[in-house]
Amino acid sequence: MDNIPYLSLNKFLRDKFGEKVIKLSVDAGFTCPNRDGTLGSEGCIFCSKGGSGDFAGSRNLSITQQLKQQKEMLSKKWNSAKYIAYFQAFTNTYAPVDELRRKYTEAISFDGVAALAIATRPDCVNEEIAALLSELNQKCYVWVELGLQTSNESTAQFINRGYKNNVYSQAVKLLHKYGIDVVTHVIFGLPHETKEDMLNTVAFAVENKTDGIKLQLLHVLKNTTLADIYEKQPFHVLTMEEYTDLVCEALKTIPKNVVLHRLTGDGNKAELIAPMWSADKKKVLNLINKKL
């Protein structure tokens, strides 16, 4: 797959570390300002009860225990010596710096961890946190994943994102100032967005000099505000043809040095309401690569 016309995360990490690097997802027990009452209590309308960390470990276990459990589970598929400790669930910079330091340090101390990935919100990154990440970046490769989702301010308000685009831009600049790579989450298929809206979001992330992009199809999941909206006022969900065409078009506009961390995401099949075709991730990826 090294002849694909974009820089995949797999190739990027193989080039960087000389071998396959696999992701171990943890739930560090954080919450989110969009859930704890600071900004709101419902969260973003598409966000699952697991805080978009449905495949992470259990927060009832320590960071080390979760990493060990994930390693054992994935070792059946990959016998690798290097791992990414991925803080996935909820907002992973939303805590006092001392707590962040303790949890991040525990993660990178786990045998074989070569990288630390932190999913968070742009409005939950500050100078003190960026300085901590810079310090850890001297010990292992660190990147931060920011949930932009859309650059359309009206859509952002509709999905209850809770911050303006300029907050994202400021967070990217701050992280870059401290030498931290940024990966931007983008969702295709948000209600009432046009093809132009979606491609504009990719362009906005590129203009802000994102180092990586995660493309995600909108999943309507059970027990979310989005599911309630979809039931009462059904909106168009992308077909497989529409989504794969959009991804291929977006890839043509993304510079070759920007790492594509994901072309489509996994929805929890037990929770998925729509679109059902997205449950077959392999088929979706095969179609994208065929079109490319």
- Domains in the chain and their CATH numbers? 7-291 (3.20.20.70)
Cα torsion through 9, 12, 13, 15, rounded to 10 = 160
Name, in order, each residue with C-beta under 8 angstroms of 279's C-beta and a sequence gap of 6 or more: 267, 269, 272
Token code pair at residue 26 = 């943890």
pLDDT tens-digit readout, 215-271: 999 999 999 999 999 999 999 999 999 999 999 999 999 999 999 999 998 777 889
The predicted model scores a pTM of 0.94
Mean pLDDT of 25-47: 89
24 close to 67: Cβ distance less than 8 angstroms? yes
pLDDT tens-digit readout, 159-195: 999 999 999 999 999 999 999 999 999 999 999 999 9
Percent of the chain with pLDDT over 70: 96
pLDDT tens-digit readout, 99-125: 999 999 999 999 999 999 999 999 999
Examine the pLDDT at 76 and tell me if it is beyond 90: no
Distance CA 287, CA 259 (A): 20
Distance CA 149, CA 242 (A): 18
Examine the pLDDT at 1 and tell me if it is beyond 50: no
Q: Closest Cα partner for 189 from 259, 119, 86, 277?
A: 277
Percent of the chain with pLDDT over 90: 80
